[in-house]
Chains A and B, each alone.
Chain A
């Protein structure tokens, strides 16, 4: 079964750090680009970051650039999101998602596998 399972969410204070993980199974992980997409409570979907199959190409939304770092370990079939200097507006459900292609240097067809998400709450 093709599956993505996120972990590492929690309640943290503003300015804190948190690292999310996403474990992939059921497909060849190193064949595909991967994404983080978040959804604030009651809101829509917001793209956060993308990483190519090799990790050589990375993109970030302006809202997280300089604070968040995406990475992957193909040997462990895992995707990560290191989140530093967290703000209340980062409060959201964070989904990892699989692209239909390996590269992020060309247009994407879409994200065909999604995890259920990890909840991040930033509050004092």
Chain B
């Protein structure tokens, strides 16, 4: 079971709209979560069930998709958003994470 993620890295400026995509090798309904990880820190849940915003997460983060194609969008990139983002399929075992997208300062 594979989760591919693109891009693997990107450079963006504060205020930019950022879109990260994740594709599952088979249909997984909406059983996708998105995480943010900063260096030396544990991952943080941003989005669950493909499009539900986890409590306390800023509304500039949003998720969409179903089946095999999923998207994480940051509507206006903030300085604290520079990090690596991972998708995860949670439909069935083995749970699989995408390889990550590193968002860097342009």
A contact residues vs B (CB 8 Å cutoff): 35, 44-47, 50, 59, 61-62, 95, 100, 104, 107-112, 114-117
Tally of contacts, chain A with chain B, CB under 8 A:
67
For the complex of A and B, 9 pairs with smallest distance between CB atoms: A110-B33, A110-B48, A114-B42, A108-B90, A47-B95, A45-B97, A109-B48, A107-B31, A59-B93
B68 within 8 A of A: no
**In the bound complex, do residue A44 and residue B90 qualify as a contact, i.e. CB atoms below 8 Å apart?**
no
Least Cβ–Cβ distance between B68 and chain A, in angstroms: 15
**In the bound complex, do residue A111 and residue B45 qualify as a contact, i.e. CB atoms below 8 Å apart?**
yes
**In the bound complex, do residue A107 and residue B33 qualify as a contact, i.e. CB atoms below 8 Å apart?**
no
20 contacts between A and B (CB under 8 A): A35-B95, A45-B35, A45-B43, A45-B97, A47-B94, A59-B93, A107-B29, A108-B90, A109-B31, A109-B48, A109-B49, A109-B90, A110-B33, A110-B47, A110-B49, A110-B88, A110-B90, A111-B35, A114-B42, A114-B44
Q: How far is the CA of A100 from the CA of B45 in the complex (A)?
A: 11
Number of chain B interface residues as a range: 20 to 34
Q: How far is the CA of A111 from the CA of B47 in the complex (A)?
A: 10
**In the bound complex, do residue B31 and residue A117 qualify as a contact, i.e. CB atoms below 8 Å apart?**
no
For B48, the chain A residues whose CB sits under 8 A away are 100, 109-110, 112
B13 within 8 A of A: no
B contact residues vs A (CB 8 Å cutoff): 29, 31, 33, 35, 41-45, 47-49, 52, 54, 86, 88, 90-100
**In the bound complex, do residue A115 and residue B95 qualify as a contact, i.e. CB atoms below 8 Å apart?**
no
Q: How far is the CA of A114 from the CA of B35 in the complex (A)?
A: 11
Contact (A50, B99) CB under 8 Å given A45-B43, A107-B29, A114-B44: no
Contact (A116, B42) CB under 8 Å given A44-B86, A109-B90: yes
Q: How far is the CA of A117 from the CA of B99 in the complex (A)?
A: 19
For B93, the chain A residues whose CB sits under 8 A away are 47, 50, 59, 104
**In the bound complex, do residue B42 and residue A47 qualify as a contact, i.e. CB atoms below 8 Å apart?**
no
